[in-house]
Chains A and B, each alone.
Chain A
Amino acid sequence: MKTRAFLISTVIICFLSQASLTYGQDSIRTTIKIRQITLKGESGEQEVSLPLRDSLSYINFEIKAVIISGELTVELFDPNGEKYGNFSLAGSANSNNKDADMIRGKTYFAEASGSLVRYVKLPERGMWKAKVITKNAVGVVDFNLTRGVTVLKKD
């Protein structure tokens, strides 16, 4: 009985050693453009789904926005509905606005840009969501994901 147990243990150890010798860990990184939203002066709320079906080593959310005018807010939520960050952009309310004079020496074209980058290690699977809230916004919002998967690699 003891001999059989010893033999089985030895075989398992040998198999595992072989596996660890011939296989190593490597990471595959893929960047995907999930969606681009072009805003043409609309107001309202849009939801962008960012589904995570696979187990990943990490994920990097990158939301970039540029506006020419109007107002824009972008919020990122995890599958439990917890907010993971947000930013807002606003075009100058009025190019003739006296406040513009406060920008000393220069008056800029009413334009703003922003980005939200969130690196999440071992992200929870499920439906991540981004909410885009606009008010007469003219601009573009880009949603990019970089997915990292750790795989076994044969030497």
Chain B
Amino acid sequence: MQIRISLLSLIALLSQTTFAQSGLHGQILLDTSIWRPVVYLSLITDLDKMYTMSNDMIIDQVTISGSGKFSFDTKYFPEGDNLFRIHFSKKNDPPATLNIGGKDENHFFLIASNHSNITMKNYSENDYIKNITVIGYYPNNIIKQINEIAGYADSTTLTSSTLKNDLIKSAVFEKLRIIADTCSNPLVSLYAVYKGDFEKNYPVNQQFYKNFLSKWRKENSSYFKNFKNKIPARASLSIQYIITCIFSLIAGFLICLLVKFRKPNKRIFIQDLSLQERKIYGLLLEGKSNKEIADLLVIELSTVKSHISSIYTKLNISSRKDILNLNLDKQDP
């Protein structure tokens, strides 16, 4: 009994220690004569909004202590991995400030969950954002690697030759696709896809994105839902293709039916027949047999048969009975 109590106490103590450790902790060197000594934390629910700033996105803020330390509680974070943005604001700027590029760049991204225990640190006030190291959760190492690769494309934008620039960008995007393909963390993998400018590269690498979606088909986080919606062209294209095919088949079938059951409305004129044929046609109307017609017109029986065959063809009929039903137009065409 005593052993059981001891064990339970130990477990409770360990779990308490674990919870006490979880959080986003940091120590940062910041020129507080320029920057407000506050760290802001935004939750990015859609990777398309990485470069969107609004007060509504800021979920928490903490004050940086005199020694540069700060700490966020992560217990209220959503379950599973999420992308967060940490940013700083200058004293004259509103808290919801996003500076991209240049010496005043003020933000960086990290992945965390409600169980994360992450430490951030920099060692210099200069380029303080670029020098921040994130330790404690491995996906953030890959995030940093992705940022460095993507940043390489930015830093080399338009060197002396456009061709060289294109080649560099192409290599960078290829590298990011490789990371996206091989990474085991879905959010990091998607982050690499976004950094690889998927909207621009989708038309030329459709198979890659198809495979990517197939690989992460079970992912139903908001990030993947939004991403799937971002490729409507692929989905709608195939649906459109199927719909077009079905409509074409239906249309083809209907046309065939119409052709098959269409009543011939060609007007038949007596003038279409030769003089001899008209005579034979008249005798046929009177119900004369081939032999009688041959005798009356003093021609060979075979000639009568030939004329009758010609009459059938011209009048588009197949028997004597049809001749009786036929109403020939005697007017000129």
Q: Do A and B come from one complex?
A: yes
Taking Cβ atoms with an 8 Å cutoff, the residues of A that contact B are 62, 66, 78, 82-93, 97, 99-100, 102-106, 108-124
CA–CA, A85 to B92, complex, Å? 24
CA–CA, A86 to B93, complex, Å? 19
Q: Which of B52, B99, B159, B200 contacts A88 (CB 8 A)?
A: B52
Complex interface bits, B148-165 against A, C-beta within 8 A gives 1, otherwise 0: 000000000111101000
Complex interface bits, B17-60 against A, C-beta within 8 A gives 1, otherwise 0: 00000000000000000000000000000000101111110111
Complex contacts, A82 vs chain B, CB 8 Å: 200
Complex contacts, A111 vs chain B, CB 8 Å: 55, 94, 96
Q: Which of B60, B95, B98, B157 contacts A114 (CB 8 A)?
A: B98
Interface centre among B53, B56, B157 (most CB of A within 10 A): B56
Q: Which 6 A-B pairs have the closest CB atoms?
A: A117-B102, A90-B54, A117-B101, A112-B96, A88-B52, A114-B98
Q: Closest CB-CB distance, B94 to chain A, in whole Å?
A: 4
Check if B61 is an interface residue, CB within 8 A of chain A. Answer: yes
Check if B104 is an interface residue, CB within 8 A of chain A. Answer: yes
Q: Closest CB-CB distance, A42 to chain B, in whole Å?
A: 19
Q: Determine whether the beta carbon of A89 is less than 8 Å from that of B159.
A: no
- Return the chain B residue nearest A87 by Cβ: B51
CA–CA, A89 to B49, complex, Å? 10
Given A114-B97, A114-B98, A90 contacting B61 (CB threshold 8 A): no
CA–CA, A124 to B61, complex, Å? 42
Check if B100 is an interface residue, CB within 8 A of chain A. Answer: yes
Given A62-B102, A103-B59, A114 contacting B53 (CB threshold 8 A): yes
- Return the chain B residue nearest A116 by Cβ: B100
Q: Determine whether the beta carbon of A114 is less than 8 Å from that of B99.
A: yes
Q: Determine whether the beta carbon of A113 is less than 8 Å from that of B96.
A: yes
Q: Closest CB-CB distance, A37 to chain B, in whole Å?
A: 18
Interface centre among A89, A123, A124 (most CB of B within 10 A): A89
Q: Which of B53, B54, B94, B100 contacts A85 (CB 8 A)?
A: B100
Complex contacts, A66 vs chain B, CB 8 Å: 94
Q: Closest CB-CB distance, A3 to chain B, in whole Å?
A: 40
Q: Determine whether the beta carbon of A84 is less than 8 Å from that of B157.
A: yes
Q: Determine whether the beta carbon of A89 is less than 8 Å from that of B59.
A: no
B residues 155-184 near A (Cβ < 8 Å) are: 157-160, 162
B residues 55-100 near A (Cβ < 8 Å) are: 55-56, 58-61, 93-100
Q: Which of A99, A102, A109, A115 contacts B99 (CB 8 A)?
A: A115
